[in-house]
Structure 1
């Protein structure tokens, strides 16, 4: 017999090893816990697919034998975590996964999960850090952390403020499609909180264009005399899901200090966007908020 037939030809590469789901199992998984890790991996693949997967799909994607997959999927089906969709067989996620996801979302306290990020900003800047989202014509402060100093801007989570005259509000408005901004504004002239408040749609539109171009918003004594605020967007996949700001005494927001504040805000905004709990809580909250304010007779 030709020995060459029994050996791999020189210069050829060995066949690539098929990916195996066990490669990603937790380091702490022992022999018994490995079955749990495998089962969870199957659920993750179904979630990523967004539809049904066949037994062949699972086998190709996990590297597990079909006999093993049948046993794992059988247990998951019996417990309601997957449902057999057809006779190929194919499987989809079951109702128990909705129970888990709902419990996860309702259990998230946005002020708590985002609080650590804002606390670092407040400590580094000496100013009050605020995280906000648009709710109709108002900004809803969903998380606030104040610095440890006697003179500071004071507000609380759950506080609402006008969108047209605040740093958070103008940052969020600037990231909307310009054609949709009017739905988030009161009738003209807008309520003037100070002599610096922008009270017309044209003046605000010019400010929002400048805000969008430079990537941050400025409230320069527009909401309260003696108070300034700078805000940046919190972006996930190109979508502005919230705005992050610092607010404090006007005299402490000169050019150099403001630039330092913005550097810290942008870093914190990136950290917030990378925090899966924060993003999930924001998306859950945003699903319940108003898309602008409905017209009333007084608005007409």
Structure 2
């Protein structure tokens, strides 16, 4: 593993991590001495980090401090962990009621990432696990997030996806998928009907933040044999209520209906 690490990125990370243990501001000389690197090497790394917003220079003494980009990233990570904390009791309640596996995912770089998973009493051996990434075009959670993107962003995401086929039921035609996403938007929930794994059915609903942007999704997964139309109707209502509850706690205000 170690031989595959990129030295320049390792050194850049070392520079950033110095600020965890030392003063709030460090000079090029300070960093050079502490890391045992030449000033020229440190200068090049620092200028790159400064350009990308990870470091800022104090123009008075020419020392460096952590930049706002790290604050933004930290807030994003904190936001995700807050989401998990908020959603956890809702997920547990869902599992207790539905007796099936429930997932929570966040959206990142055109994929979803599972950040919470709680198995029901009849646990499934399925693809999902905490930390794993999954495609957005053929998972219930992915489609729930994709359907509520702005139209321009939806187009961009679909254009950048190869719409890979996982089963014979995976939608790989862009226009067909777009029509399907419009239906999801209308009904407020999505269904993965054996689209990523044969025999598996999943119902998902989107979660919104205080800006009204879709940031995550929650789902219930079960074998198709346990998800007939009556059961599907019950699960979809529970999933939507759970998603709405989490969204409300995240500060989302539902838009008033037009009279």
- Residues 208, 235 of structure 1: CA spacing in aligned structure 2 closer, same or farther, 3 A cutoff? same
Structure 1 gap ranges (5+)? 1-97, 281-300
Report deviation, 1:247.
0.9
Is residue 266 from structure 1 mapped to residue 240 from structure 2 by the alignment?
yes
Q: Match of 2:217? A: 243
Q: Match of 1:173? A: 146
Distance 1:123 1:270 in 2: 18
Q: Match of 1:163? A: 136
Q: Match of 1:38? A: none
Distance 1:107 1:233 in 2: 15
- Residues 266, 194 of structure 1: CA spacing in aligned structure 2 closer, same or farther, 3 A cutoff? same
Report deviation, 1:190.
2.1
Report deviation, 1:149.
2.0
SS of the residue aligned with 1:169?
helix
Q: Match of 2:230? A: 256
Structure 2 gap ranges (5+)? 1-70, 252-259
Q: Match of 2:191? A: 218
- Residues 182, 224 of structure 1: CA spacing in aligned structure 2 closer, same or farther, 3 A cutoff? same
Report deviation, 1:242.
1.6
Distance 1:251 1:115 in 2: 27
- Residues 192, 116 of structure 1: CA spacing in aligned structure 2 closer, same or farther, 3 A cutoff? same
Check the 8 A contact 2:200/2:222 in 1, yes or no. Answer: yes
- Residues 107, 183 of structure 1: CA spacing in aligned structure 2 closer, same or farther, 3 A cutoff? closer
| Alignment equivalent of 1:144, drawn from 106, 117, 122 | 117
1:72-151 → structure 2 map (5 Å cutoff): 105=78, 108=81, 110-151=83-124
After superposition, the CA RMSD in angstroms is 2.9
Normalising by structure 2, report the TM-score: 0.61
SS of the residue aligned with 1:241?
strand
Report deviation, 1:167.
0.5
Report deviation, 1:131.
1.3
Distance 1:131 1:176 in 2: 18
- Residues 119, 260 of structure 1: CA spacing in aligned structure 2 closer, same or farther, 3 A cutoff? same
Distance 2:153 2:80 in 1: 32
SS of the residue aligned with 1:263?
helix
Report deviation, 1:273.
2.2
Report deviation, 1:112.
4.0
Q: Could you give the per-residue CA deviations for residues 147-175 of structure 1, whole angstroms, max 9, x where no partner exists?
A: 12244646322111011110111111100
Q: Match of 1:209? A: 182
Check the 8 A contact 1:152/1:249 in 2, yes or no. Answer: no
